[in-house]
Each structure stands twice: as C-alpha cells, then as structure tokens.
Amino acid sequence: MIKQKDVLCSVAAGAIVLAAGPAWAQNATSTTASTAAPATPGATPEASGSGIQDIVVTAQRRTESLQKAALAVSVLGSDALKQAGVTQAQDLTNLVPALTLSSTGGGGTQVTIRGVGNFAGNPYAEPAVAVNLDGVYLARSSGPTGLYYDLDRVEVLKGPQGTLYGRNATAGAVNVIARRPQNGYEAEGEVEYGNYNNRRVELALNAPIEGVGAIRISGVVAKRDGYESDGYDDEDTQAVRGQLLVDHGGPFSLLVVGDYAHTGGMGSGGVFALSETGFVSSNPYLGAAVDGSNAILQGASLGITHGATANLLPPFKTDGFIDVNNWGISATAKYDFGGAELTVIPAYRNSVSHYLHYDAGFPVNSDEYSKATSVEARLGSKNKAAALQWLIGAYFFNEDLNFDLVPYQGVAYGPTQPILNTRSLAAFGQATYALTSALRLTGGLRYTNERKTQNGQLGYGPGPGLPVTYVSLDGGLIQESRVNWKAGVEFDAGPHSLLYANAATGFKAGGFYASALNPTAPDPATSNTSLPETITAFTAGAKNRFFGNTLQLNVEGFYWKYKDQQITHIGPVYPAAAGNNLITENAGSADIYGAEADLVWQPISTDRFAADVQYLHAKYNSFVYYQANVAGPGSSPQTACAYTTNAADTQFTVNCSGRVMPRSPKWTVNLSYQHTFELGHVGTLDARVGTRIESESVLGIEYLPGEYQKAYTKTNASLTWHDANKRYSITGYVDNIEKSVVKTYAFVQPVVGIPMVGLDAPRTYGVRLTGKF
C-alpha cells in the first residue's frame, strides 16, 4: 500500500531529479516545429530544426504559439496522443494532472478540472467543463465518445473560459481538434491487438481536389472484451469522419465536416467498495453480478410486494447494454477582409442513446433523444504586428431533449418522461493592447442569456408491476442573464520568457431535476430547480525556454473562488410520496488554490525528460445538502459527515463543510523519459516510460470509506521501431505495470449505503502497427 508520505517523497525526488516542469503530454508533439515566439507581439516564430519543438494552438480563438499564449493550457499533439495510446476520452486522465475523466452509466463521460465538475448521472445534469469538437459544443455527456482518432491535438484549458467560449465552461474546456484536409495524397493506417481481445483498426485517406481544395475521410473500428469477469467495461465503437475543404487560395475558405460514432456493448460496470481498499471479493474485477454483491442486496429486502411476491432489491445482472449514436454536421466558413477575418461556424448535433446500467447500485434504463443547433460568428483582427489585437463575436445554441428514464432504486420507481428545451444567446469580445513592445494588457466581456423550459410527466410508485402515479412537469421555466469578464497582463521578460497574470469569471446556469414542483423561486427544501454556479479565478504564471531551446520550464499559480456548486446525487423529491431521485441542488462554496510546474528537458535530440507536478488545495468553506431517510425512524444517513434530522424524521440535513472536495488529490505527478536508439539504415527504436503518481483522494460527497482512493502509481511503457523513412512503425506496449486498482467514480446505493465504484483498466498490453503512404 502506498501511503501519502511515500507519494510526497516521490514528488520531492521527481522535483529534484527533473526540476519540476512541463508535462510530456503537453509538449511531446511535432505539430509545429519552431522556436519560442520572439518578443514582438504577434510575430511569427522562426523555424528551428533542433531543440524542443513548439506547438501552435487556437485556445484564444487565434493562432499562436503555446509558449506565447498567456493562459493556463495543456496541449496534447497528435504524436503525444499516439505514443500514449489515447483511444478514448478517459485516457486523457493519465496525461494531464489537472484533468480527470471517467465513464458514467449509459456511455457518458464525467469531466473534472481541479476538482470542479458535475456527476452527469442522467440527462438533466449538465457538465461544468465544456467539451468542443472542432469548435462545436457537445451538450451530452456521451458526446466525447468515439472522437479519438485522426486528431491534430487536444487542448485542455484550465479555469473558467467565460469570455471566448460558449456554454458551461465553468472549470475549463477540452477542445478536440481533428486533422484537416491537406494539399496532397496521404493514407495512414493503424492496427492494434492486445489482451482482453482488444482489436482496433484506424484508417485515414486524404486527397486534393483540383480546383476545389481537398478531402479527408477517416474512421475507426474498436472492440474489446470487458475488464470485469461479468462482461462489463468492454468496448464496441465504430466511427467515421468526412471533411471537405474548399479553398482556392483567395480570401474565402470553407470546411464542411460530417461525423458519426456508434458505441455499443455492455458499457461500464461498477462494484461495491466496502473500504478504501476492500471489495466484496478479493478480486475487484469479478464484477458485481458474480462477486457476491447480490447477497448484500437480498439481505436488505424492503418487503414491498409485487402481487403475491415479496420484493427484494433489484439484483445485478449481465443484461446491461449501451447503444449510443452521435452524429453531426458543421461548417467553418472564413473570409479574409485584409485587416480582419470573419469566421462563421453553423453546426447541428444529433444524439440518440438507449441503455441499461447498474452503475448506481440499481438498474437505470433510459432512451434519450437530443437535437442541438448552434451558430458562432467571430470577427477578429489579422495584423499580428499591430499594437491592438481584437475579436468580437456572437453565439446561438438551442437543444431539444426528451427522454424516458426508468430508475428502480428499491425505494422508489420513477418512469420520468420530461421534454426539455435549452436556448442560449451570447455576445462577446476580447482585446489585447501592447503598451510597449514587451508589455500587453487584455480585457474581455461576454453577455449570456440562457432560457430553459420543462414539460412532460413524472411517474412515481413503489416498484415495477405496481400502480404508478403520474404528475405533470409542464410549465417549468428558468431564465438567467450573466456578464462574465476577463482581465490580464503579460510581459516578455526576455526573448523566450513570458510572464502573465489573469482574472476571469465563469458560470453554469441553473437547471431542473425530476420533481412535480416548478416554483418560480428555487428553494432547496421544496424545489425542482437549482441556481447557477459561479467561479472567479486568479492565475499567474511564467513560460520559459533556456539553454538554446533545450530546457522548457512553465509554472502557474491559481486561486479559484467557487460558489453555489451544483451537486447531483440521490436526494428527496417532492411531493414526499415520490421518495428519492437523482436531484441537483446548490450545496457548497469552496476555495481552490495551488500550483503547477511543467518541465521538458531535451539535452540532445535522442533524449527527452518531462515532468508535470500539481499541488492542489481544494476544501469546502460551506457544503450542506439533503438526504432522504429511506430506512425509517431512528436511522442514520449514508454519510460520514455531521447531520441533523427534521421533525418528521423523513429527511437529513448533511453538513460536510471543511472537507476536501471530491476528485482533488493534493499531489499529482507525471514523469516520463524517452530515448531514441539510432539504428542507421534499419531505422530507429524509441523506448518510453511514463509514471503517474497521485496522493489519496475521495470520489463521493458522502465521504464513506469505500469512496476513498488510496495513493497510487501507475506506469506505462512502450517500445517503437520506425523504419528509416518513418513510413512504418511497430509498437509494443504495457500499461498499468503495477496492476494498480484505481477507482474512477463513486455513487452510494441508497438503501444498503455502500458505494458503487468504477475501476480503471487493469494491466493491459499489446502491439500496434502503423503505416503511412
């Protein structure tokens, strides 16, 4: 067992050996080869054939060097993604210390940055981290599935992005950017096979079209058996993306993109965690359907009858499935007026999901239908040598969402059939002005108006086969307007050194949950709505290159003020006869602060050291929420926090103030080393090893023993042969060498009071073959 003091020793040792600096994940790429940008504002970096290669990003809606972007952002280039074997959203967790992604039931993905995120347990809950595909916001939690192939880069923006970005970027944004059509013929393929019968085939074809531009078509097919013995945590993905670039070399260009992704299989699975390290079975990967967990459920019978049969809690079965279909079409139209460029991005996203899962400790069955339309228009300056760089824009988003959700907790049975509409309008602008050749000021504003309506019906009753009472959800309305702002200063301390400081705000609108009430003023005691949550963030940092572009050291300090956090959990639903349901309420405020240091040292072209160390202090100042009393008078709530009971003994008020926020390990460290062996005309051999170290953390808001994740290390290694012309490669890899058992989420079963937890992959290994033609 790894104790926290051991982790701290490892952190200290890593800092001493590697001097604590930029992550391998952030910089291991050949996306753009250049030196750090010179001090002149907006000047184009000059090409360099040696040293650390630079990365060009569009995180601030303009093209610039990562080292000259005065904000907290980590970037994973195409090479880094391939070397790390990133094939799905959850794999990014291993590469960016500030970022945590985990699977949730029904093919969804929970995204958290520095402890700020939201459990997307059903379609009501919206994320606090925006995920964007080629500039288009993905509203559904299943949106990030099936995207990770033929990518140019992934940008992870840390902190509120309330000025330049669209909806729900309270904690940051993850920008997934595909490779664009190129002016030339190209074919790339990859075949992978590994344990758990892992099979993956990826293909990309690119061709110029004379007189038009170029076309690119890429796709992936992946299938894998489940990590759990009962079949869960498998993969079954098919995806395709087609892009047409119309570009005659004049002022106008148009990129049209269509994509489709299907995710099937049994989906994610969970197991009961009895303590920090204890599970129902000595082998946690047996799965809840076969590890003895059903005996726990049978021992907690509530005596509810289905006709003449006494009802036990619904057992875990192997009939779970996911059937997620996401497709979309978008266009990026650009027109260069000379001094300014206009960009317009209309998009349509369609998501249809059918699933049955047991990740909450009980069966949840749902059919979900989402249709989302968005349009963003931006006009920005083009003269990079000018003292004033500016951008203005407008944004429109509309989503129609309806679903048929049937959870059966054993306490209440709720076939919920809401019809939701969300409309968001925004206008924004940001400008940077150079007071001198080295000193610049930035300011930005964004006005957002969000309107949400709810119709449909809510059903509640004691269980399947028994009468269900339906009440109308019609008439729900939430309408909010907010102004977010950003202010910043940046200073070129030297030719390759940038100092910066920013202050910014962000917000996530309030929302509904399944209840019969629709009051105009949200009240946590009787409401089915939540208020907006907000963050005010302060950031200061430095980005540096030293010793002839062989050493890169970036550091960042941050302080976030988090208010009215929206938490999603099992809680009391009104009217009282409805019992429990998954609710979202405003429960807390927190101070989040810390520092991150990234280092890359490439003394010679064949050796590269990298380290990324994050220290995070995230504690609640106030954290109070509600639990229903499901076990009867005199019972206790399912929490390790302080609590009080109401007069009717039907509800608990839980107070977890002063506790560490979930998903907020104090220390997170990524270390890596790569060496290239030159083999002459035979080619090259790249040997790489990377380790992630995390101190102890908690995953759930109840703070029960099973919701804690002990400190751990997880090491991956690979060996890649490239031919002399870099056209072919063969990679052998092994991930999670230590066989560390790492929990990815926690959700307390509402009757037995035991956390269900998801598990990261066990040790995996395999081989990848790639070819370029």
Tell me the residue type at 360: A
Closest CA to 389 of 444, 322, 345: 444
Write out the residue range of the structural domain in which residue 534 sits: 4-772
Q: How would you classify residue 216: left for phi > 0, otherwise alpha for psi between -120 and 50, otherwise beta? A: beta
d(CA 628, CA 729): 57
Tell me the residue type at 531: L
Q: What is the CATH number of the domain that holds 12?
A: 2.40.170.20
Phi, psi of 579 (to 5 degrees): 70, -125
Cβ neighbours, 10 Å, residue 197: 11
What is the full DSSP assignment across 83-144? Answer: HTT--SGGGGGGT-TTEEEEEETTTEEEEEETTEE----STT---SEEEEETTEE--STTTT
What total of structural domains would you count in the chain? Answer: 1
Q: 102 and 745 in contact (C-beta within 8 Å)?
A: yes
Q: Which pLDDT score is estimated for 10?
A: 39
Closest CA to 487 of 474, 500, 497: 500
**Cα distances (angstroms) measured from residue 204 to each of 240, 373, 594, 729, 763:** 10, 28, 41, 16, 29
d(CA 218, CA 19): 40
d(CA 70, CA 489): 8
Instruction: Enumerate the H helices of 475-587 as residue ranges.
Output: none
Q: Which pLDDT score is estimated for 651?
A: 83
Tell me the residue type at 7: V
Closest CA to 188 of 208, 202, 209: 202
Helices and strands (DSSP H and E) totals, the chain? 4, 42
- Mark the ranges of the chain whose per-residue pLDDT is less than 50: 1-49, 303-310, 518-522, 524-525, 577
d(CA 132, CA 154): 10
d(CA 626, CA 580): 11
Q: Which pLDDT score is estimated for 517?
A: 57
Cβ neighbours, 10 Å, residue 269: 29
| Centroid of chain to Cα 24 | 19
Q: Which pLDDT score is estimated for 676?
A: 96
Tokens, residue 351: 């998501």
Closest CA to 80 of 546, 686, 556: 686
Tokens, residue 456: 């449909």
